[in-house]
Every structure is written in C-alpha cells, then in structure tokens.
A and B are shown apart, each in its own frame.
Chain A
Amino acid sequence: MHDAAIHDDSKSQYFWVWGALLVLTAIEVVLGYKQVFEPIRMLQVLLILSIIKSALIIGYFMHLKFEKALMRWMLVISVTACFIIMYFFFFPDAGRVLPPPNGVGLQ
C-alpha cells in the first residue's frame, strides 16, 4: 500500500505540479505557434519541455518519486534503454532507405 500518511499532508505540492504543467504547456503553445525557433531547434526545445513534463507526471502524479529506489531505477533505466535501442535501430536505417531529398530535412 502506498504510504498515505507521508503524502496526505502535502496535497498542495500536487497543485503546484499541476500549475507547473499548465505553464509549461502554455510555453510550448506560444513557442510552437509563433515559430520562435527553426524546426530542428524547435523539436529539441519541445522535446526537452515534454521530458520535464513527463518527469513531473511520473514522479509526482504516478508517485514513482516515493517508491523504493530499486523499482524507480529498474523502470526508468529499462524503458529509457529500450527507447535508445529503438532510436539507434530505426533512424540510421531510415536514412539509408529514404535519404533526405536534397538535404531538406524538417519542413
């Protein structure tokens, strides 16, 4: 059972996390719609913001921050490793089969 006694007195932190997530979303919308950066840089910035948001959701809303260290690290490392493997398998192959048309990347 999750340890309710530890967290029940700190409900306000969840409201702060919710507020932070809404603010980060608003920043993403402004950056995206105003086309503040060129596409590759935009992708990098949006992905970094998304990773921060997902860390807040996993850590606080899903309570992983409060789980045992073994569970925390096992889940994070295994999923991250799978994504890294996917990246190294998919994208070099994508480049080999379908080269970017005359260097045109993100449109």
Chain B
Amino acid sequence: MADAALQHNAVEHSLPGEYEAPLFGAYSKKVGMWLFLASDSLTFGALLFAFSYNRIYTAWPTPFHVASITNATIMTACLLSSSLTMVMAVFAAQRSDRTWTRYWLLATMAFGTAFIVLHGMEWTKLIGEGLTIPGFPRPATAATGELADVSKNVPQFPATFFGLTAMHMLHVTIGVIYLGVVAFRKWFLPVIAVLWIGGYFLIPSDNIFHYGIHALGLALLVSAVILFLKPKDYDAQDVEVSGLYWHFVDLVWMFIFPLVYLMSTKIT
C-alpha cells in the first residue's frame, strides 16, 4: 500500500518531459483520426475494387453525358476548394483567431453543402432516367427512361454506382455536420433539426432523399448526445483533426470521379 502511494506520488510530481515522448510525435486525437482514416480508406478501397471488378468483366454502360460530367467537375472543384478553406480554418485556429476560424469553417461547410446538393440533383436526374436499384422509390419517368434498360440488363452498374457514391455522400454529410459542431457547438443542433424536418416535408415522396434525409435525424441524436455529455470549447487541435477527416472525403472523391464518371462517359 505504501509502495503504491509512493509510486502514485512519484507520477504526480514528476517533472515535465519526464514521460516517454509519443511514438508518432503527435497528440493522441490526431493519431486516432489517422488510424480511423486508414481503416476507412480500406472500406472505400473495397468498394472501388468491387466497382472495378464488375467494370472489367461486364459489358459496362457509358451513361454519363456532358451535363453529368460538367456537374461532377463542378462538384470536384467544390471539394478541392473546400480543402483549401479548411486549411485556412486550421491556420486561423492555430493563431487563436476564433472569428476567422468560424468563417473559414463556414466556407468549407458551404462548399460541402454545394457538393451534396449537386450530387443529389445528379442522383435525382439519373433515377428519373431509369437508373434504379430494387427498393428505390421510382418516379413515373423511370420505367421508360433512357437508362431503364441499363438497370435491367446490367444491374451491377446502378448497384455499384449508388453503393459507392452513397457511401461518399454520407461521409461528406457527416463531415459538414462535424465541422458545424466544431464551429458552432450546441447552436448547430437546431440547424440540423430544421434541415431534417424541412427536408422531409419539402422533398417529394417519390424522391430517394425523402427517406435519405433521416440520416440527419440520426446525426442530430448523435451530435446532441456528444455535446450534452461532453460540452467543451473546441480548440485548434479539434479543428485540425476535423480537417483531417474533411480532406479525406476530398481524397476519396479524387478516385471516384475518374473511375466512376470519366471512365463511363457517353461515347458520341
């Protein structure tokens, strides 16, 4: 007992720098995020491999007209620009400039939201043209649309396309919410609630996002639990760690865009 007390005191009163230095020379939150991103990259890797597997051994459709490629290019530019604004947010946080940290985070969220909206419009257009998978709500135009035959003859295409892009869209959505929580903390919760409820009533019931919007409800619940159980003022380390996540979703899109869109352009 006396030994235990002695050891405890020795730890408590040890001089700064006496502990062993971190193995990676970085704080634990950052190492944790890097490990998560390494594992998440394997998730996307598996999905991209599944896409390529089907792409190589199937007579693959090339449904993307110039409008889709233009849309996807603008989406790419949005994500790349959002990464730059995220870097600026990290710099602002490191010099303890809270106002500019919020502005840059807000700019990053705006680019991310633009990406989600453009992607949602692209999905809605493709589903309206008949590119669907079982379980999707189908608008009236889907049965006779240009891509109805693709869904019937090559079901691997819509399955892998929607699987891959939905996973990425979910990551971008989580990223926007993550940045919103870091920037605005509990004041961001009503924003998520309004978007969730408003989106549910405004999006028509034959649109997939009428159901997909419930992801915001889940995000609201998780964010609320985190913010109320552990309320804190997010510092520069938190901003940097959230930035790592944000750049990762940008990074993944750098592979999805050429492999999914550019390799499936409509040959004219």
On A, residues with C-beta under 8 Å from B are 1-2, 4, 7-8, 11, 14-15, 18, 21-22, 25, 28-29, 31-33, 35, 39, 42-43, 46-47, 49-50, 53-54, 57-58, 61-63, 67-68, 70-71, 74-75, 78-79, 82-83, 86-87, 90-91, 94-95, 98-101, 104-107
Total B residues in contact with A, Cβ cutoff 8 Å: 57
* Contact between A54 and B255, CB atoms less than 8 A apart: yes
Q: Is the CB of A25 within 8 A of B73?
A: yes
B residues lining the A interface (CB < 8 Å): 23-27, 30-31, 34, 38, 41-42, 45-46, 49, 53, 55-60, 62, 66, 69, 73, 76-77, 80-81, 83-84, 86-88, 90-91, 94-95, 236-237, 240, 243-244, 247-248, 250-251, 254-255, 257-259, 261-263, 265, 267
Chain B interface, DSSP helix/strand/loop, else mixed:
helix
Could you show 12 A-B contacts with beta carbons less than 8 Å apart?
A28-B257, A28-B258, A32-B261, A57-B83, A58-B251, A68-B25, A71-B34, A74-B24, A83-B45, A86-B42, A98-B57, A104-B59
Given the known interface contacts A1-B27, A32-B265, the answer about A47 and B258 at a Cβ–Cβ threshold of 8 Å is: yes
How far apart are the CA atoms of A17 and B267 in the complex, in Å? Answer: 32
Indicate whether A100 sits within 8 Å of B56 (C-beta atoms), given known contacts A71-B25, A79-B41: yes
CA distance A49 to B247 in the complex (A): 18
Picked from B73, B80, B86, B267, the residue with its CB within 8 Å of the CB of A35 is B267
Chain A facing B: main interface SS: helix
Are A91 and B263 neighbours in the complex by a CB distance under 8 Å? no
Contacts of A11 in B (CB 8 A): 88, 91
- Determine if B258 and A79 form an interchain contact, defined as CB atoms under 8 angstroms apart: no
Complex contact B55–A106 (CB within 8 A): yes
Q: Is the CB of A100 within 8 A of B57?
A: yes
Given contacts A21-B80, A22-B77, A61-B86, contact A46 B259 (CB under 8 A): yes
- Asked, given contacts A21-B80, A70-B24, A70-B25, whether A8 binds B91 with beta carbons under 8 Å apart, the answer is yes
